[in-house]
Every structure is written in C-alpha cells, then in structure tokens.
C-alpha cells in the first residue's frame, strides 16, 4: 500500500482513536507526508468544544463554560475562547494536518478551574498536528494523544435572542479579572421589547430601566431599584457594581446561550440564557 494511502487511513481513524480514550501521549505520531485533499475546508467555520482528551483520557470542562474556536474566512487565522481568556493567531492546514502558529491570548485572571482548563486547551492546540471531521464532529490534536472535539456552534448553540430571554448572570468582569458571583447571590435580566424596558433582580433588590438596543449595543436609561439592605456586605458591593454597569451604552455580545454586556471602561457582566 502506498504511504499516502496509509496516512489517509490514519487521519480518518483519528477521531475514533481519541474517542476510544486508548491513546498515550508518549506514542504521539506526527504526519510528515500529508495526504490530500483536506477533509474539510475550515475557513469561515465556527465551533464549540464538546470534549477534551489529555493523553487519551477524557477531561471535563468547567460547567457551562465550553471553549470555542472560529476560523476566519481567509483561511489563515483563528480566534476563540478558552472559557477564560480570548485566544487568537495563525494556522495552516494541508491534507488533514494542522499547525497553529504562536497562540496569543488576553491576560484576564480567572478562578483556578478556568485557568487550568485554559492551560490544557492552549497546550492541546499548540501540540496539534492533525484534524478530522466525522459525523459533524471536528477533532484537533495529535494521533494517539491529546485532542479537542468540537461541534458546529450554530447547530449546538443557536444565538439566543437579546429580548424576551431570561438571562442569568454568573460572571462579573472587573478590569482584567473575571469572577463568579458571591455565593448565595443571583443576578437576572429580562428585556421586554414591547415595553422597551429591562428588569431583573440583583439579589436583595430588584430593578427596572428604560432601554434601547440593536445587534451590538444596549442603551440603558434611568434605573429604578428597591433599596433593601443586604446582610452580606459582599452581595451589597456586588449589587453596587452591577448598578454601575447598567447605565449608558453597553456593548452587546451574544454567543449561543451566553450574553456579555461590557461598559466603556471594560467592566461587564456575563449571563447565560435560562433553559426554557
């Protein structure tokens, strides 16, 4: 059998090897004579991670925080998220092989489970040498070794609507740091299109505000809120932070079931869509 045919078989079997979790990082294989054609043109595609394998063993993602990767239309660069920071850089493909150039990333500090997830995701991408697509699942990694599996993002998580969705806040962003909410607290947001009104809960207090919006921005008018005192000082501080964000023009980013509202100073709040 020709060498090229053998390599085609290896690449085709890649996702099966990973899914079986039988690989060992010490037996990683690099494809040096790539077959053609590519299994799929990645340019212009957007993916969300569904599984990660380190040395063949499955590693769970932090709940409700799945990494993403987007390939630009020109087929040269990519961007994405580890679940904590944004990542970006160049990549090349050819006949089932893939190589990522120097991977750049933002430097926001997150809590330890997310930082560990980020380190693992970046390492898998840096070490990746092959990719395959089987039954709509994109696998990127090394033969017999560590890998990430992805599903088309539009199919996995269609973008939720800004209006009419019950949004549940789970992350606050201050400068270069992101953190989960104070234990026992809750932040909610619903934008009523008919009333041009935002309303929700801050934990101790509820709020309403007039709003205008389009695809990329939310303009928050006068905010009215109850003035009940919270016993937990941390929750009170968090409420004040949220109120400081919910004013004026905010950048709107919706990615599947996640919404991030960002103020001009870079601070913000991240929400997930409540399951119907």
Beta strands 268-273 and 258-262, pairing class: antiparallel
Q: Where are the beta strands (DSSP E) in the chain?
A: 46-54, 57-58, 68-71, 77-81, 86-94, 97-100, 104-105, 130-134, 137-141, 147-152, 167-174, 177-180, 187-192, 197-201, 206-213, 217-225, 248-255, 258-262, 268-273
Based on the fold, state whether residues 80 and 191 are members of the same structural domain: no
Based on the fold, state whether residues 148 and 174 are members of the same structural domain: no
Last residue of some domain: 129, 156, 183?
Answer: 156
Mean pLDDT, rounded, for 190-208: 96
Q: Express as a percent the part of the chain with pLDDT over 70.
A: 86
Mean pLDDT, rounded, for 192-216: 95
Residue whose C-alpha is closest to residue 97's, from 126, 130, 75, 71: 130
With respect to residue 184, please indicate whether it lies within any of the assigned structural domains. Answer: yes
Based on the fold, state whether residues 19 and 152 are members of the same structural domain: yes
Based on the fold, state whether residues 108 and 192 are members of the same structural domain: no
What CA–CA distance (Å, rounded) separates 37 from 55?
28
Based on the fold, state whether residues 32 and 142 are members of the same structural domain: yes
With respect to residue 161, please indicate whether it lies within any of the assigned structural domains. Answer: no
With respect to residue 7, please indicate whether it lies within any of the assigned structural domains. Answer: yes
- Which residues on neighbouring strands pair with residue 91, listed in sequence order? 100
**What digits encode the pLDDT tens for the residues 118-147?**
999 999 999 999 999 888 899 999 988 899
What CA–CA distance (Å, rounded) separates 32 from 12?
16
Based on the fold, state whether residues 112 and 19 are members of the same structural domain: yes
**What digits encode the pLDDT tens for the residues 37-55?**
456 789 999 999 999 999 8
Residue whose C-alpha is closest to residue 209's, from 227, 223, 193: 223
Last residue of some domain: 156, 182, 199?
Answer: 156
Write the CB contacts of 264 (distance below 8 Å, at least 6 apart in sequence).
248, 249
The pTM for the full model equals 0.59
With respect to residue 162, please indicate whether it lies within any of the assigned structural domains. Answer: no
Based on the fold, state whether residues 131 and 265 are members of the same structural domain: no
Distances 76 to 39, 136, 147, 217 between C-alpha atoms, Å? 17, 22, 21, 29
The CATH number of residue 221's host domain is 2.40.128.270
Number of domain units in the chain: 2
pLDDT winner (highest mean) among 13-17, 38-42, 110-114: 110-114
With respect to residue 84, please indicate whether it lies within any of the assigned structural domains. Answer: yes
Which residue segment(s) compose the domain that 265 sits in?
167-273
What CA–CA distance (Å, rounded) separates 116 from 112?
6
Mean pLDDT, rounded, for 108-120: 91
pLDDT on residue 17 = 38
Q: Phi first, then psi: what are they for 176, rounded to 5°? A: -100, 15
pLDDT on residue 47 = 95
Based on the fold, state whether residues 200 and 239 are members of the same structural domain: yes
Based on the fold, state whether residues 205 and 151 are members of the same structural domain: no
Based on the fold, state whether residues 152 and 171 are members of the same structural domain: no
């Amino acid at each position: 059998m020709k060498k090229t045919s053998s390599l085609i078989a290896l690449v085709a079997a890649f996702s099966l090897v990973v899914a079986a979790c039988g690989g060992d990082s010490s037996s990683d294989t690099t494809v040096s004579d790539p077959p053609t054609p590519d299994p799929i043109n990645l340019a212009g595609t957007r993916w969300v991670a569904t599984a990660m394998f380190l040395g063949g063993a499955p590693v769970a993602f932090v709940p409700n925080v799945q990494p993403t990767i987007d390939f630009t239309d020109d087929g040269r660069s990519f961007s994405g998220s580890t679940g904590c920071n944004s990542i970006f850089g160049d990549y090349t493909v050819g006949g089932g092989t893939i190589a990522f150039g120097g991977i750049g990333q933002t430097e926001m500090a997150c809590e330890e489970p997310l930082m560990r997830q980020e380190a693992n995701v970046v390492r898998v991408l840096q070490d990746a040498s092959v990719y395959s697509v089987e039954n709509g699942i994109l696998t990127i990694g090394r033969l017999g070794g560590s890998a990430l599996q992805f599903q088309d993002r539009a199919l996995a998580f269609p973008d939720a609507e800004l209006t009419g969705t019950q949004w549940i806040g789970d992350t606050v962003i201050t400068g270069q740091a992101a953190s989960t909410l104070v234990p026992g607290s809750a932040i909610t947001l619903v934008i009523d299109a008919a009333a041009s009104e935002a309303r929700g809960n801050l934990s101790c207090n509820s709020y309403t505000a007039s709003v205008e919006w389009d695809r990329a921005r939310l303009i928050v008018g006068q905010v009215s809120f109850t003035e009940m005192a919270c016993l937990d000082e941390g929750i009170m501080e968090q409420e004040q932070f949220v109120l400081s964000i919910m004013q004026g023009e905010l950048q709107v980013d919706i990615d599947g079931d996640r919404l991030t509202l960002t103020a001009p100073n870079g601070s913000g709040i991240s929400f997930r869509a409540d399951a119907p």
